[in-house]
Amino acid sequence: MSDKRTEISELGEFGLIDHLNQKVKIKNSSSLKGIGDDAAIIESGDKVKVVSTDLLLEGVHFDLAYAPLPHVGFKAVAVNVSDIAAMNAIPKQITVSIALSNRFSVEAVDALYSGIHAACEHYGVDLVGGDTTASRSGLVISITAIGEAKKEEISYRSGAKVNDILCVTGDLGGALVGLQILEREKQVYLANPDMKPDLEKYTLVTARQLKPDARMDIIHELKDLEVVPTSMMDISDGLASEIFHICKASGVGATIYEDKLPIDKQTFDTAVELNLDPITCVLNGGEDYELLFTIDQKDFAKLEKHPDIHFIGHITKAEEGKYLVTKSGTAVQIKAQGWKHF
């Protein structure tokens, strides 16, 4: 150890992961994919196992002032299932580890687990283990999800090719806008506890934030249509940031079109009400847990009529860069803002 002190914020989250990855040497040939994708891929007989883990901290990832415990439990499972989906695999098992401060009662733990069980039912996964410990401050939840796929079905971030079509599912920006509304109503409540928060108008966006649904429906449909995305990841940090990841891993560029970006009306209207630019919310909002993927042009006809898959652009050569073509036809460089954890 030298005396030099480097702030984590100098590297950022992704820089720190790259830094840690430099010291990792894979020893087992069964470790097909290690650090650097939505999940690790491990050879297992004639199939592969897909493993992903996530850590959620009270006060960082959720605020119990407005997130009900069952929703926190559901979301903790859903975000892991989403990473399994992002590899084009089917989740089968989860383990759940929790750390609790003495603020939490058995009833509170039951409430958290009611959401975990609901998600296990919804995604068809089994809860097979975990760990329980005390915490000095608040609730910590760590979930590991294990999925399965055939080796040739796995979609890595690194498979996008020039002229592939960029697709996203659902609509984007809702979870960020929902979070802003929940934060605003929390402040109103803190200033005046007698005021009842008026969330009626915002049910869709607040649900996007509090209870996201991993797009396993799309994974099953792609399977039925015999489409294997050439690359895929889930949108947890914002579309712009995820496009950067796919482009970096695949050694390509991308062009997307503003008029193709999917945004829900309630997200749009609420963004405007909050003085946020709706397109910025779509590009940089986190936690939507939709899927971003690329397909070979030959598969376009199979997905063309799908009501919930949007074709937002195409893959270009790396030297062509990453651009958003605005409604007025100007090409602007995409900046990966994403979520800053540090």
- With contact defined as beta carbons under 8 Å apart, do 233 and 292 qualify? yes
Residue 288 interacts with Mg ion (CB under 5 A)? Answer: no
Specify the DSSP class assigned to residue 67.
S
From 26-34, 105-113, 140-148, 230-238, span contacting Mg ion (CB under 5 A): 230-238
| Comparison of 35 and 65: residue with beta carbon closer to ligand ADP | 35
**Which of ligand ADP, Mg ion, none does residue 242 bind (CB under 5 to 8 Å by kind)?**
none
The binding site for ligand ADP (CB under 6 A) comprises 17, 20, 35-38, 54, 83, 236
Q: Residues 118, 49, 165, CA angle at the centre, nearest 5°?
A: 85
Q: Which residue has the tokens 């603020």?
A: 103
Non-local (6+) Cβ contacts of 50 within 8 A are: 39, 40, 41, 42, 84, 87, 89, 146, 147, 148, 149, 154
**CA-to-CA distance for 105 and 107, rounded, in angstroms?**
5
Q: How far is the CB of 190 from ligand ADP (least distance, A)?
A: 31
Q: How many residues bind Mg ion (CB under 5 A)?
A: 3
Distance linking the first and last C-alpha atoms of the chain = 23
Q: What dihedral do alpha carbons 58, 60, 66, 70 form, nearest 10°? A: -50
Residue 290, interface with Mg ion (CB under 5 A)? no
Q: Which does 258 bind (CB under 5 to 8 A by kind): Mg ion, ligand ADP, none?
A: none
Concatenating the DSSP letter of every residue in 129-172 gives EEEEEE-SSS-EEEEEEEEEE-GGG---GGG--TTPEEEEES--
Least distance in angstroms from the C-beta of 12 to ligand ADP? 11
The binder of 37, among ligand ADP, Mg ion, none, by C-beta within 5 to 8 A per type, is: ligand ADP
Name the segment binding Mg ion (CB under 5 A); options: 73-81, 194-202, 233-241, 285-293: 233-241
Interface residue with Mg ion among 51, 66, 70, 83 (CB under 5 A) is 83
Centroid of chain to Cα 24: 25
The one segment of 63-71, 81-89, 98-106, 327-335 that binds Mg ion by CB under 5 A:
81-89
Cβ 54 to Mg ion, closest distance in Å? 9
Residues in contact with Mg ion by CB under 5 A are 38, 83, 234
